[in-house]
Structure 1
Amino acid sequence: MNGIMVLGTASDTGKSFIVTAICRLLANEGYKAAPFKSQNMSNNSYVTLDGKEIGRAQGIQAEAAKTEATQWMNPILLKPRSDMHSEVVLFGKAIKTYSGRDYRDSFYDQGIDAILFSLKKLDELYDVIVMEGAGSPVEMNLKQRELVNMKVAELADVPALLVADIDRGGVFASIVGTIDLLPESEKKRVKGLIINKFRGDIGLFEDGKAWLEQRTGIPVLGVLPYIDGHRIEGEDSLSLSDRFSASVKDGLDIAVVKLPFLSNYTDIEPFLYEEDVSVRWISEPGRLGEPDAVIIPGTKSTIHDLLFLRKSGLDKAINAYERRGGRIVGICGGYQIMGETLIDPDGTDTGKSGSEEKGLAIIPGHTTFLERKLTVRTKGRLFTDESVFLEGYEIHLGMTSISAPHYTPFLRLEDGRVDGFSCENGRIIGTYLHHVFHNDFWRNEWLNKIRKDKQLPLLAAVDVGNVKNKSYDELADSIKPHLDWVQLKEIIFQWRSPA
């Protein structure tokens, strides 16, 4: 198997970012490359063409590799539902909710089998596999039964890179400490170091590079610059503040509710490509202000996040904003929260059977949480204008019924169902369609209504797919000059295990 494992000294060092860049660099040279992360913990997911749910980062990395995402690229996805419990998605399908201890004690052998099966599938289909670790490979309390770092490099028998974030400080200690904590057999796998997020004159790090190489015996293959505003989707909410803080612009002000169990925040990503749209993430009522629109995004734990809104007072602030004529869109869990009642008879949302809560009552909707999750790619047409075609995906346990005798659904779906709710010419919208704002024409129409209300110039639609594809090339082009690409390819294709 040809491949490379990209490890980090900690979370958010840029592993996903670097794997994405390597996938595009390989694809641009004609290699069939596939991303792989054995176990991902994220509520930010991606639905494959055949309706399987994987980590969003691996879906994006597959796009960068110019290939179609499959469940083999992320066989195990953990979706946190509380501080203590996560839903386990195996080969793209939810199987069970575990506590952290139960998962560690009972799932390990099943996880190993899933990883081996997925690696075999990918090895049959691709020239090279670009693997991503998680957190640190030397979490000593977890290392004996880990399923995502050095154990996976061993199963695949591939070399590894170690990435450190110099922007947060302590880069020498984090690298040396990580290497020193690895057992000798694992140290031999680490064939390169990458320093990420360097600001300023990279030439000033030459002494640091020499010191690291002398101290560890491992070459520094790259000192990568801090790339601001790169527009590559992040893996999880750790990157939210960095990515959207750079999007402050004159024009439209959109407030997005930052829910504790926020999921699929990439639904908001297209606004980064709009020249006059600023996005603010809010988690307290005093920060709401008077935005041009409020978006309540998806959540992995709808009732828990509804209770958060109530405890923080954001529920009252949002209701008052709506009564003043504010524009609100709820996506998936956000749509459910906007309804009148939420009922969890079997505890599939809360873990407690029989839970029932009152929603914001902005929409006359009633949601009941079921035992089986719907995960599907979805296409449909705007109910009020069937010339407008939209596509995205659904991931939800709840089913929502509308109690109003005469109402306007948001979409008429290709499979015959209707989706969501819309009223007052789209001032209030609720939908289960993730990626609704990735539909360029509809997003542009929605934004131009707001621009018209504010007497701002109307703008043409932005082709986000085309811009994203160019962004992958720009990422690869910006990193390659700072990376010893020839040596990295030699490590990938000439590796032979010391064993």
Structure 2
Amino acid sequence: MNGGLLVAGTTSDAGKSVVTAGICRWLVRQGVKVAPFKAQNMSLNSFVTREGAEIGRAQAMQAQACRVEPTALMNPVLLKPGGERSSQVVLLGKPVGEMSARGYHGGRQRQLLGTVLDCLAELRGTYDAVICEGAGSPAEINLRRTDIVNMGIARGAGLPVLVVGDIDRGGVFASFFGTVALLSPQDQALVAGFLVNKFRGDVSLLEPGLEMLQGLTGRRTYGVLPFRHGLGIDEEDGLRVSLRGTVRESVVAPPVGAEVLRVAVCAVPLMSNFTDVDALAAEPGVVVRFVDRPEELADADLVIVPGTRGTVRALQWLRERGLADALARRAADGRPVLGVCGGFQLLGEHIEDEVESRAGHVDGLGLLPVRVRFAPEKTLTRPVGEALGERVEGYEIHHGIAEVTGGEAFLDGCRVGRTWGTHWHGSLESDGFRRAFLREVAAAAGRRFVPAPDTSFAALREEQLDRLGDLIEHHADTDALWRLIESGAPQGLPFIPPGAPA
């Protein structure tokens, strides 16, 4: 095999990332050397590769599905929102500046098409197959002229396109038809067909609609994936993470006689790398909630202030909502608080920021003896160390440089009593360290909580990726999918003028 595929979607959150990862894991289990690719990603959840490049966490997860090491080639353009209308542009793993949405779409984006096509070509020269993920919808006709992530990359590289639709939202047939009908003849020629995602019920009841869709579009459906709980992967996000009433909790009950441990995560503005708490949620008996009111901290055994793309803005938000005072009371009472990256910085004494917010001197919460100065250069590293007697791995993504002036050493940060702070993302994925940390939290909370001795976060992630591969293997027409990846879109697919069915 020597081919490729673009997985597009009728909407954002249609399931492109999940389907891409599933196809990657299915292919690698067939002995195919495969890599993921997303030309342009907008996300505050990012990762650091071994060579010190910043890419979207979704692409790092997809690389894991492929059983390969992630590289900057897999996500050459990363946009990190910093406000309503601007983002930091990360090119080939390194930040190159802030840009407004109008400035980016007005010209800069189109200039990057050659770069992303070169990255894709390099991957295709190394791997048997490259499975590309689109963004949003390929039918965003207002953005088509400068598009480099959907039909722009498909046209430039001659990739067949599979359109994913979330049937759980409703209107999937109209979305499939409308997506194709809005495209130009040249773009339509690459759209091979559809994949239905999140179906509940009897597939036989759906089949007449799929036949009618093929009659209307001349394009087949490559599979119907059933709705499955617990398939969440490292999410992408736009400007913010909606609370959505989100409760991430483990599906395994705690050991007999043990108590549940409650973790509250402050849902600060521009929250980044909130996936840090997934390893906690994977522990039996740990319940993780995202909160935005001080009363929601009352019954929490641990409060986490996560990373953020806007440290000063998050600090103001905490004060406005009364959460800052609630955190100060917790620290004074010796109740556990953990700050990660931006959350660590705002727990300190003061911040000097002429880079991110340009607010200058800002007083922090004063819970840790730390002074932070924002530097123009971004720190991007994959540190390894030890804490609580256990080996720890993590990754750092930050402009803020922390000067620790007291307390007890904790990774790259410090701790005072039961308040901890570190820049290290991903540290809780280190199983031994996570268990040691939770034992300290439980002791401070007076809980009879005992971490499960055999919980392996890496193994759970592998199981999750295999479940995605199973979805494709068991519910997609894999023979047809293989031919599509290897040979490209079928020849002679009909053009659908807008409004044709009427």
TM-score range, shorter chain: over 0.9
State whether structure 2 residue 462 is matched by structure 1 residue 465: no
Aligned match of 2:356: 349
Aligned match of 1:359: 364
State the secondary structure of the residue aligned to 1:141.
Answer: helix
State whether structure 2 residue 321 is matched by structure 1 residue 299: no
Name structure 1 gaps, 5 residues minimum: 412-418
What whole-Å deviation, never above 9, does each CA across 1:101-160 have from its counterpart, x for those lacking one?
Answer: 111224134311211220121011101110000001111221111111000011111100
Aligned match of 1:414: none
Instruction: Give, in whole Å, the separation in 2 of the partners of 1:389 and 1:434.
Output: 15
Amino acid at match of 2:356: D
What whole-Å deviation, never above 9, does each CA across 1:67-104 have from its counterpart, x for those lacking one?
Answer: 11110000000001111110000000011110111112
Instruction: Give, in whole Å, the separation in 2 of the partners of 1:458 and 1:76.
Output: 39
Aligned match of 1:493: 486
**Cα 1:217/1:27, change in 2 over 3 Å:** same
Deviation at 1:320, TM superposition (A): 2.2
**Cα 1:239/1:35, change in 2 over 3 Å:** farther
Amino acid at match of 1:258: A
State whether structure 2 residue 389 is matched by structure 1 residue 391: no
State the secondary structure of the residue aligned to 2:117.
Answer: helix
Higher mean alpha-carbon deviation, 97-106 vs 87-96, is at: 97-106
Mapping for residues 37-436 of structure 1, pairs under 5 Å: 37-236=38-237, 241=244, 244-245=247-248, 247=250, 251-344=260-353, 346=354, 348-350=355-357, 352=358, 354-382=359-387, 387-404=389-406, 407-411=407-411, 419-424=412-417, 427-436=418-427
State the secondary structure of the residue aligned to 1:191.
Answer: strand
Aligned match of 2:447: 454
Deviation at 1:6, TM superposition (A): 0.4
**Cα 1:31/1:160, change in 2 over 3 Å:** same
Indicate conservation of the 8 Å contact 1:444/1:461, yes or no: no
Deviation at 1:458, TM superposition (A): 4.8
Amino acid at match of 2:408: T
Instruction: Give, in whole Å, the separation in 1 of the partners of 2:343 and 2:433.
Output: 19
Instruction: Give, in whole Å, the separation in 2 of the partners of 1:325 and 1:270.
Output: 24
Deviation at 1:436, TM superposition (A): 1.1
Instruction: Give, in whole Å, the separation in 1 of the partners of 2:246 and 2:325.
Output: 29
Instruction: Give, in whole Å, the separation in 2 of the partners of 1:287 and 1:139.
Output: 40
Indicate conservation of the 8 Å contact 1:229/1:243, yes or no: no
Higher mean alpha-carbon deviation, 210-219 vs 20-29, is at: 210-219
What whole-Å deviation, never above 9, does each CA across 1:341-370 have from its counterpart, x for those lacking one?
Answer: 1111x3x111x3x52221111112111111
Amino acid at match of 1:299: T
Deviation at 1:175, TM superposition (A): 1.3
Deviation at 1:497, TM superposition (A): 8.1
Instruction: Give, in whole Å, the separation in 2 of the partners of 1:318 and 1:174.
Output: 46
Deviation at 1:230, TM superposition (A): 2.3
Instruction: Give, in whole Å, the separation in 2 of the partners of 1:238 and 1:23.
Output: 27
Give the percent of matched residue pairs that are identical in Structure 1 and Structure 2. Answer: 39
State the secondary structure of the residue aligned to 1:409.
Answer: strand
State the secondary structure of the residue aligned to 1:471.
Answer: helix
Amino acid at match of 1:23: C
**Cα 1:239/1:470, change in 2 over 3 Å:** farther
Amino acid at match of 2:436: E
State the secondary structure of the residue aligned to 2:211.
Answer: helix
What whole-Å deviation, never above 9, does each CA across 1:198-242 have from its counterpart, x for those lacking one?
Answer: 122223212222222222211111111111012533233769758
Indicate conservation of the 8 Å contact 1:441/1:461, yes or no: no
Deviation at 1:246, TM superposition (A): 5.4
User: TM-score by structure 1 length?
Assistant: 0.92
Instruction: Give, in whole Å, the separation in 1 of the partners of 2:298 and 2:60.
Output: 35
Indicate conservation of the 8 Å contact 1:12/1:238, yes or no: no
Indicate conservation of the 8 Å contact 2:42/2:236, yes or no: no
Instruction: Give, in whole Å, the separation in 1 of the partners of 2:341 and 2:80.
Output: 16
2:477 pairs with 475, 484, 487, which one? 484
Deviation at 1:482, TM superposition (A): 1.1
Amino acid at match of 1:371: P
Instruction: Give, in whole Å, the separation in 2 of the partners of 1:433 and 1:312.
Output: 26
User: Which of structures 1 and 2 has the larger relative contact order (alpha carbons within 8 angstroms, sep 6+)?
Assistant: 2
Instruction: Give, in whole Å, the separation in 2 of the partners of 1:388 and 1:342.
Output: 31
State the secondary structure of the residue aligned to 2:382.
Answer: strand
Deviation at 1:261, TM superposition (A): 0.4
Deviation at 1:245, TM superposition (A): 4.5
State the secondary structure of the residue aligned to 1:448.
Answer: helix
Name structure 2 gaps, 5 residues minimum: 254-258, 493-502
Instruction: Give, in whole Å, the separation in 2 of the partners of 1:370 and 1:449.
Output: 34
